Amino acid sequence: MLIKKKIIAIHGLGNKPSKQVLEDWWMQSIHEGLEHIGKPRKAVPFELVYWADILHPIPLNQATTKRKNDPLYDDEPYIKASYKNSSKKPSLKAKLFNYLDEQLDRVFLKEDMSINHKHITDRIIHRYFSDLEKYYKDDLLSANDPNGGIKIRIQNRLFDVLRKNRRSTILLIAHSMGSIVAFDTLTAFSKLFAIDTFVTIGSPLGLPVIMARYFAEQKQQNPGILRPATPDSIWPKWYNLSDPEDKVAIDHTLNDDFAPNRLGTSAEDISVYNDYENNGERNAHKAYGYLRTPEMAQIIDNFLSRSNTRNIVRRSQCFTKRRLVDLKGLFTKIAKQK
C-alpha cells in the first residue's frame, strides 16, 4: 500500500496577491530553502489554502498597481535571499521582545487564565489585527447577518483541503493568523483528521488574549485543565518556528503555553533567522523568509524522505494510540458514573 505525502499550507492575516501568485511564491521559497541545505527536489507535493479573498475581495497586484501608496500595491513580494546577513546574534529589538514576552502573561492573564485589562487587548486587536477581529466577531453574529460566516468560511477552506487529502500523510504549515485557523479547525475535527507534522511559523498563538479564549473553550469540556491543550489530531510532531524579532510572534515559546494532547504531542520551539528583506528593510514575520530557513527546509526534507514503510508504521501507531486514548476515556467516564 502506497501512502502519498502532501504538504498543505495556510497563509496569515492581511491582503495577499492572487492564489496562483502566492502559491507559486511559497513554492519558490520552499525550493530555495531545500537548495540552500543541499537537498534540492524537482517536485514537492504542495497545496496552499487561500482565504484572503474572503476578507479582501481584490488581491494585491504589483504589476497593475504602481503607486506605493495604493492599498493594493504589494510592497513585500517574494525576493530571493541574499544569504549575507544570517546572524542569529540577539539584537536589542529581540531582547525587548523577549522582555515583553516575559511580562505579557503576568499583565494580561489572571490566575484563572481569564483575560485581564480586556479593553486594552480589544483595542490592540482592533488596531493591529483587523482580520483577526473580524474572525473572532463571527462568534457573536447572527446567522442572518450579511457580515456573518467569516470564521466558518475561512475554516472551511482548510477543512476541504484536509478532507480531500485524508488518505495522505500530511505536513501542515500554518503562518501567522493561519495558525489560529488551523488550531481551531484541528481542535473541532480532531477525530476526523490526522496531521503527521504540524509547523507553525510566526504564530501569535501564545498571545494572552488568544490563549484565554482557548482555555475558556476547552475548560467547558474538561474542567480540570490548567492550560489549553494541543489538538488531538496532531501526532507525533508540532514544530513552532519563530524569529526573535518577529513582532507578531512575541511569545516565542508555545511549549509552556499549551499542554500536550492526549497522544503526548506538544510544541517544540525552534528559534530561527527570517532573512526576508526588501529595499534594505527586514521583515522578520514574512512567510517567504520562514519557508526557506534551514530549519524549515530540514523538516520538509525529513518528511519527504521518509520511506513508505515508515509512513505505514507511523499511521498504524497513530491509529493504535487514538484507540487506546478513546478507550481510556470511556473507562474513566464509566468509573465516574458508578
- Do the Cβ atoms of 76 and 278 come closer than 8 Å? yes
What tens digit of pLDDT does each residue of 290-313 get?
A: 999 999 999 999 999 999 999 999
Task: Determine which of 61-70, 192-201, 210-219, 309-318 has the lowest per-residue pLDDT on average.
Answer: 61-70
DSSP string, 297-308: HHHHHHHHHS-H
pLDDT above 70 (res 122): no
**Domain ranges in the chain?**
5-306
What tens digit of pLDDT does each residue of 223-246 get?
A: 889 999 999 999 999 999 999 999
Task: Determine which of 18-22, 208-212, 266-270 has the lowest per-residue pLDDT on average.
Answer: 208-212
In terms of Cβ atoms closer than 10 Å to its own Cβ (0-12, 13-18, 19+), residue 153 is middle
Omega before 228 within 30 of 0, i.e. cis: no
Distance CA 246, CA 91 (A): 12
Taking the model in full, what pTM does it have? 0.89
Give me the mean pLDDT over the 200-222 stretch. Answer: 91
- Do the Cβ atoms of 135 and 150 come closer than 8 Å? yes
Distance CA 208, CA 167 (A): 36
What tens digit of pLDDT does each residue of 14-34 get?
A: 999 999 999 999 999 999 999
Q: What is the pLDDT of residue 140?
A: 46
pLDDT above 60 (res 263): yes
3-state secondary structure of 162: helix
Instruction: Kindly state which CATH superfamily the domain 5-306 is placed in.
Output: Alpha/Beta hydrolase fold, catalytic domain (3.40.50.1820)
**Mean pLDDT, rounded, of the chain:** 86
The DSSP symbol for 264 reads S
Q: What is the pLDDT of residue 207?
A: 87
* DSSP collapsed to 3 states, 63-117: CCCCCCCCCCCCCCCCCCCCCCCCCCCCCHHHHHHHHHHHHHHHHHECCCCCECC
Distance CA 48, CA 179 (A): 13
Q: What is the pLDDT of residue 246?
A: 93
- Do the Cβ atoms of 64 and 18 come closer than 8 Å? no
Distance CA 151, CA 161 (A): 16
274 contact partners, CB below 8 Å, separation of at least 6: 202, 243, 245, 246, 282, 283, 284, 285, 286, 289, 290, 293
125 contact partners, CB below 8 Å, separation of at least 6: 132, 133, 136, 209
Q: What is the pLDDT of residue 143?
A: 46
pLDDT above 70 (res 3): yes
Q: What is the pLDDT of residue 117?
A: 43
Crossing angle of the two packed helices 208-221 and 177-188, in degrees rounded to 10: 0
> How many other C-beta atoms are found inside a 10 Å radius of the C-beta of residue 41?
14
- Do the Cβ atoms of 1 and 262 come closer than 8 Å? no
3-state secondary structure of 172: strand
What tens digit of pLDDT does each residue of 43-54 get?
A: 999 999 999 999
Distance CA 174, CA 110 (A): 28
Give me the mean pLDDT over the 153-163 stretch. Answer: 96
Helices in the chain by DSSP H: which ranges? 19-36, 52-55, 92-108, 118-128, 130-137, 150-164, 177-188, 208-221, 287-291, 294-305, 308-337
- 279: cell is 529595499
